[in-house]
């Protein structure tokens, strides 16, 4: 149990996963279908971490994929002083701190899962990105997802995820 403002929050453990690193300032969370309980993927913030845990997002891979996806749809991830740790960021590293947020990584993981499902089920006639939703014929459990975080989402998360929702 813990308190949040004027509310008492009762918490139940739903999963225990070894993340292979000390979690100090990392955000943690998971994604699950909106109308079907059950964790699908867990994540920690950052651009490094374990690569061989099937229950945990590969931070290096998904930070890179988020940066590429943002560029491909014309979304600019804002620069941050932490983009390259304690040194000056190279142009290709700008936005990395924003890309390593778990909300973006989990959202992209979900989109990739839906695309993989659609391709396996034969929906390969997609011409434009806006056709994806109608052509995929996804099961109800994959149409909507909910992300749970261990704290309030960072400022600007809803505007940064919006392009991926479209």
pLDDT at 109: 92
pLDDT at 61: 92
Q: Using CA atoms, how far apart are residues 36 and 90, in angstroms rounded to an integer?
A: 42
Q: Using CA atoms, how far apart are residues 112 and 154, in angstroms rounded to an integer?
A: 23
pLDDT at 87: 72
Cα 5 to the center of its chain, rounded Å: 27
Per-residue pLDDT of the chain (166 residues; tens, 9 = 90+): 666 678 887 777 777 888 877 888 888 889 988 888 777 899 988 888 777 888 899 988 998 899 888 888 888 887 777 767 777 777 777 777 788 788 989 999 998 888 888 777 665 555 555 555 566 677 888 888 988 888 777 655 555 555 555 4
Rg (CA), the chain: 17
Give residue limits of the domains in the chain. Answer: 44-165
pLDDT at 31: 92
Place of tokens 């374990």: 50
71 CB-near residues (< 8 Å, 6+ apart): none
Q: Using CA atoms, how far apart are residues 112 and 107, in angstroms rounded to an integer?
A: 9
pLDDT at 123: 55
Q: Are the CB atoms for 105 and 43 separated by under 8 Å?
A: yes
């Amino acid at each position: 149990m813990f308190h949040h403002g004027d509310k008492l929050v009762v918490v139940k453990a739903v999963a225990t996963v070894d993340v292979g690193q000390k979690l100090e300032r990392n955000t943690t969370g998971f994604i699950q279908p909106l109308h079907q309980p059950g964790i699908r993927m867990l994540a920690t913030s950052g651009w490094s971490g374990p690569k061989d845990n099937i229950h945990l997002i590969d931070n290096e891979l998904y930070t890179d994929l988020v940066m590429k996806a943002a560029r491909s749809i014309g979304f600019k991830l804002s620069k941050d002083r932490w983009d390259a740790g304690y040194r000056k960021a190279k142009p290709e590293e700008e936005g990395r701190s924003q890309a390593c947020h778990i909300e973006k990584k989990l959202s992209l993981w979900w989109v990739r899962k839906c695309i993989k499902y659609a391709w396996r089920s034969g929906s390969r006639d997609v011409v434009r990105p806006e056709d994806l939703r109608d052509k995929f014929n996804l099961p109800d459990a994959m149409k909507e997802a909910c992300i749970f975080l261990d704290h309030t989402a960072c400022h600007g998360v809803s505007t940064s995820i919006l392009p991926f929702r479209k």
